[in-house]
Amino acid sequence: MEQPPILQDSTHPDYVCNLHKPLYGLKQSMCQWYVKLHNFLLHNGFMQLQSEPTLYICKRNSNFRLLGVYVDDLPIVGTSLT
């Protein structure tokens, strides 16, 4: 392995990244990605709709955010994203 040309480190030219838990190519990778995303969203104030489990909503004061999960796309709609 070698560093990509755009990310070369002149102080450590022989260093490369080592993945401790590669997920790409595994059958369960999408499931694990969704579990991590689900936990992150719940931890950050989103609630999963019972009628549509791929849709999350977050309401704070008068602002709301809707986040849909479709494979690897995350469409976001809301009154304020700040």
Q: How confident is the model at residue 39 (pLDDT cuts 50, 70, 90)?
A: very high
Tell me the per-residue pLDDT of 43-79, one tens digit each, with 9 for 90 and over.
Answer: 999 999 999 998 999 988 888 889 998 877 788 888 8
Given the structure tokens 């999408």, which residue do they identify? 30
Query: pTM, whole model, 2 decimals?
Result: 0.60
> Can you give the residue ranges of every domain in the chain?
21-78
Radius of gyration for the chain, computed over Cα atoms and rounded to the nearest angstrom:
18
For position 16, what pLDDT does the model report? 78
Measured between alpha carbons, how far is 69 from 82 in angstroms, rounded to an integer? Answer: 20
pLDDT average, residue stretch 11-27: 71
Residue 25 pLDDT > 70: no
